[in-house]
Amino acid sequence: MNYASSIQTPGLAALPPWRSRLLFVFLLLGLCALIARAGYLQGIHNDFLQQQGEARYGRVINIHAHRGMITDRHGEPLAISTPVESVWASPPDVEATPQQIMQLAQIMGMDAKAVKSRLSDTGRDFVYLKRLLPPEQAAKIMRLEIPGVSLQREYRRYYPDGDVTAHLLGFTDLDDNGQEGLELAFQEELGGKAGSQRVIKDRKGRIVEDVASIRAPKPGSNLALSIDSKMQYLAFREIKLAVEQHRAKSGSIVVLDAHSGEVLALANWPSFNPNNRDKPGLDVLRNRAVTDLFEPGSTMKPFAVAAALNAGKVTPKTVINTEHGKMMVSGKMIHDTHPEAALTVAQVIQKSSNVGTAKIALLLEPETLWSSLGASGFGASTGSEFPGEAGGKLRDYKTWRPIEQATMSYGHGISVSLLQLARAYTIFANDGRLMPVSLLKLDSAVSGQKVYSDTTARQVRDMLELAVQPTGTAPLARINGYRVAGKTGTAHKLEGGRYVDRYVSSFVGLAPASNPRLIVAVMINEPGGKEYYGGLVAAPVFSNVMGAALHLRNVPNDAPLDHEVMPSQAGIVREEV
């Protein structure tokens, strides 16, 4: 007998064999369950592991679509999108020292506390730190090699002409979506559709592999405007100079192709720089030529006369008793700035007689005048598709009193936009046809709506040509080498239901009068200098812009280059309504 084997440890009983076997069975079952689970997850239902893995190293990133370019009618760029970088972070993955955060904030021009606060938001997987950075700044950030901080390619809109085309084009927001102007109107065409892509990133947030393209980005379409860049700059320069020279509140100008209705230039002053991300005030932001309404004054007189001519009530030679410039209608006095005993219908336009125009308008039935003005485009949108375009105000004839019919004939009691007024004058340039307005370049000819007979339109055009003669209201609208036809307007502003001694000075004209190619409409709002008459304030702007524009288009002369001496301002016929 072995002595050592016979000795037992006090207090311990021998374990039954079945317990060790039971423990072995439990361990074996657990191992089998783990093997089965692993096989199930890896071979049959592997989505869970794949999702968990991708959550640690994979990301789905958005791919911004390239916004379409806006060009002028000759292909010159007016709005382009340039690639920039935006800095973003995945807060749970960020590993940055206080010094790195300070350096990161300095490069981005941000407060270090603000950066630290964004990086501390571990409940989010994606936060922007700074949008739209230049490439050199983005490169400095990446040289810091902060894990969890990455770059994303985006696009920033750039406007080469700055404030010259600001009101027309508008601008985009940080996401390159149109917010104002044509950028907003044609957002769907210009914006395209963003894409997305699955990528693998390392622990520092750098993309190391492109896994798959979920959706390819669709770039936006380019947009060719009707605008001529050279004419646009010319119009902008002249309206700015006129507003500053006459200390006016604002000013607008529109240049139309007389035959197609295409807008060749449209500008306002004051303006703003759309490349500056600081949003301008609403007063500067709005496109006054399209969205603002004003009473047009005497620029409406040709339409009242055209209605009477078309209805057979008068002829250009019909003599109108203008009663020495004073006439009572419904207890209200209508007067002329320069009284005359009698004027022919043609002279009524030439001298801009309120009394003569009112008498001609009162020869018509209210419905006839109303229908004629409505057919000329007043009281309705031009169809330009510009956001916020005003349709103007033309009250129903059933509510008119005789005094309202009389004053409407010379532009009081009716409101228009400058674009609407310019469009209406296409009637006199196209033998009675009202042309549609387009801000986009047209590839084919358009046909307008017939409003007046050929004879009526030509008769009115001849009268408008008299208005720019030395004995008319707008000799300063004359252009050396070209015949010009046009009409001045000097309207009191309506405030609180009463007309006050503040004015809207305007001129609308076309040239060459023998075969009109261009129409230019000018409006100066509240000139603050000594002169406020349309013939002195707006007509010279028309002359400068129209003369240069005709030369740009190589339009042949229809008048001798005689360098005729213009009359002095003292000799110009004033008008006021």
Bond preceding residue 316 cis, omega within 30 of 0: no
**Distance between CA atoms of residues 393 and 386, nearest Å:** 18
Contact indicator for 348, 409 with CB cutoff of 8 Å: no
The beta strands (E) that lie in 31-140 are given as 58-63, 70-71, 77-89, 127-133
CA 470 from centre of chain: 39
Long-range Cβ contact pairs of 484-487 (< 8 A, separation 24 or more): 484/509, 484/510, 484/511, 484/512, 484/513, 484/543, 484/546, 485/428, 485/461, 485/509, 485/510, 485/511, 485/513, 485/516, 486/510, 486/539, 486/542, 487/298, 487/299, 487/301, 487/302, 487/349, 487/352
The beta strands (E) that lie in 285-417 are given as 319-321, 326-329, 332-335, 342-344
Widest Cα–Cα separation across the chain: 159
Residue reference for tokens 């408008």? 464
Bond preceding residue 540 cis, omega within 30 of 0: no
DSSP-H helix ranges across 83-165:
98-108, 112-119, 135-142
**Distance between CA atoms of residues 201 and 58, nearest Å:** 6
**Distance between CA atoms of residues 37 and 109, nearest Å:** 52
**Distance between CA atoms of residues 410 and 393, nearest Å:** 15
The DSSP H or E segment spanning 150 is strand 149-158
298 is catalytic: yes
Can you give the length of the chain in residues? 577
Residue 82: count of CB within 10 angstroms of its CB: 11
**Distance between CA atoms of residues 242 and 100, nearest Å:** 54
Active-site residue (options: 271, 298, 352, 415): 298
Backbone angles phi, psi at 319, to 5 degrees: -90, 130
- The letter for the amino acid at 336 is D
What residues are paired with 509 via a beta bridge? 486, 520
Residue reference for tokens 């690639």? 83
Sign, CA torsion 171/173/179/185: positive
- The letter for the amino acid at 22 is L
Alpha-carbon distances of 15 from 19, 26, 415, rounded to whole Å: 7, 18, 109
Instruction: Please identify every residue annotated as catalytic.
Output: 298
